[in-house]
Amino acid sequence: MIDRYEDLMVRREALSEECWRRMQAVQDRVHQDAPLMPVSWRSEGIVLHPDGRLTVNVEEFDGHHRRRRYCLWSELDGTIREMPAPAEALKQVAFSPDPRLVAGGPEPGKGQLSRLARRHLGQAAAEAWLGLLCPAVRLIRAEPGDPVVAQLGGLPTLPINSWPVWPGNGPLGHVLTIDCASLAALMPGWDMPDSGRLAFFYFDGLSYFHTGGNGVGSWDPATQQGAQVLWLHPEESTPADLTHVATPAPPGLTPFPAVALTAVPVLTWPDASDPKLRRVWDIAGLAQPASQWELLPAVESLYEALRDKWHARPGHQVGGHPDPVQRGDSVQREAEKIERAVRGAGDHADGWRLLAQVDSDDAAKMMWGDIGKLYFMIRPDDLQARRFDQARFTWQCS
């Protein structure tokens, strides 16, 4: 005969496994289409009753932000059954994002960059170059157990009738959503909103039903409606029971596969064609290159070393310096070109900040031209005022 204590432990283990199985089933079902959708599970611990039964009270939070409370019972013969939930148990609850940091791959520290810069540029130029380093957040594929802070592709969560459309062309594809609170906790002083989400959309004519034209880009400012940024703030939008539901794609639009992303803080450096570097060479007493397409030999060797040591692909990123694909084509200058055409005037090219960079990514079946990148740029005053409709878009490919 099995000892009563051993039998109790066997039933307890089986009840714990059933709780875990149910939790994984909820997560898998929700995250299949929307990795960023909050999913949570809580229990009060397993309780042994005088008659020998084991019970555990469970609170299950699904992808629609609804709470379901129920009790799992383990009978004396090991049978596990679920007791009906009270009718009043289904209601809305608020979630707080988890801003935990999980380290990803190796990223350069300031000490490593300092040694490399001095080796190639010399003391004065290296100090000026290091002064331009800018913190950012790299978005990498989330592994099991990583906090999910962003969603590449998949379905966004939008208010009713708000899916972005480019008039005369069609609906825009959802390429990225980031959780503002999670990213703000990793980017203090960057002016990122500390609530809601930022959703990025882009009209990829190759993937949908666009039949003419050259797509969206800095070459034609009239195409800027083909890329949009939405700040989704549930408290100021539709009712809470609708704003967190994954929004079906409009007819004719096939969503990109969803990929869950976690965050890694990084240091970024200006591209060799960045307008700010012209002042660095002046400070360091170095000769200016003859054109934006040329680099000083020392600068060429520095940037070759940087590419060899730390070239991240895919390079999804929030904040920091953009990483252009094409040599000599500053993303800031492209944003400034659009601004001057749209508003008739603009800031200096170095007045632009990278809001988000979305790389080509096989996991999400995203290919921007020939392994290109999308760039959403914004001016500091528009970021501070939350005027995300004033963001400018450009993209580059090799």
Residue 271 has φ and ψ, to the nearest 5°, of -65, 155
pLDDT value of residue 227? 94
Q: Is the pLDDT of residue 146 over 90?
A: no
Which is higher by pLDDT, 109 or 133?
133
Confidence of residue 105 (pLDDT cuts 50, 70, 90): very low
Mean pLDDT calculated for residue range 322-331: 82
Q: Is the pLDDT of residue 204 over 50?
A: yes
Residues 290 and 151 reside in one and the same domain: yes
Residues 68 and 194 reside in one and the same domain: no
Q: Is residue 178 part of a domain?
A: yes
pLDDT value of residue 199? 94
Buried b vs exposed e over 254-268: b needs ≥16 C-beta within 10 Å?
ebbbbbbbbbbbbbb
Residues 82 and 115 reside in one and the same domain: no
Q: How many CB atoms lie within 10 A of CB 140?
A: 19
Residues 82 and 118 reside in one and the same domain: no
Closest CA to 172 of 249, 245, 232, 106: 249
Mean pLDDT, the chain, integer: 78
Confidence of residue 220 (pLDDT cuts 50, 70, 90): confident
pLDDT value of residue 101? 34
The tokens 């978005």 sit on which residue? 139
Q: Is the pLDDT of residue 347 over 60?
A: no
Residue length of the chain: 398
Confidence of residue 228 (pLDDT cuts 50, 70, 90): very high
Residue 60 has φ and ψ, to the nearest 5°, of -110, 125
The tokens 């707080």 sit on which residue? 96
Confidence of residue 138 (pLDDT cuts 50, 70, 90): very high
Closest CA to 342 of 391, 280, 274, 283: 391
- Name the residue range of residue 64's domain: 4-92
Residue 223 DSSP code: G
Q: Is residue 131 part of a domain?
A: yes
Confidence of residue 6 (pLDDT cuts 50, 70, 90): confident
pLDDT value of residue 370? 85
Surface-to-core class of residue 43, CB atoms within 10 Å of its CB (0-12 exposed, 13-18 middle, 19+ buried): middle
Q: How many CB atoms lie within 10 A of CB 306?
A: 17
Highest mean pLDDT among 58-67, 262-271, 325-334: 262-271
Residues 258 and 148 reside in one and the same domain: yes
What CA–CA distance (Å, rounded) separates 1 from 21? 30
CATH of the domain at 87: 3.10.450
The stretches of 220-369 forming alpha helices (DSSP H) are: 240-243, 276-284, 297-309, 331-343
pLDDT value of residue 291? 61
Mean pLDDT calculated for residue range 13-20: 85
Q: Is residue 103 part of a domain?
A: no
Q: Is residue 391 part of a domain?
A: yes
CATH of the domain at 271: 2.30.320.10
Confidence of residue 151 (pLDDT cuts 50, 70, 90): very high
Residue type, 398: S
Distances (CA, A) of 390 to 123, 228, 335, 343, 380: 40, 9, 11, 11, 11
Give this prediction's pTM: 0.72
Q: Which of 178-182, 188-192, 214-218 has the lowest mean pLDDT?
A: 214-218
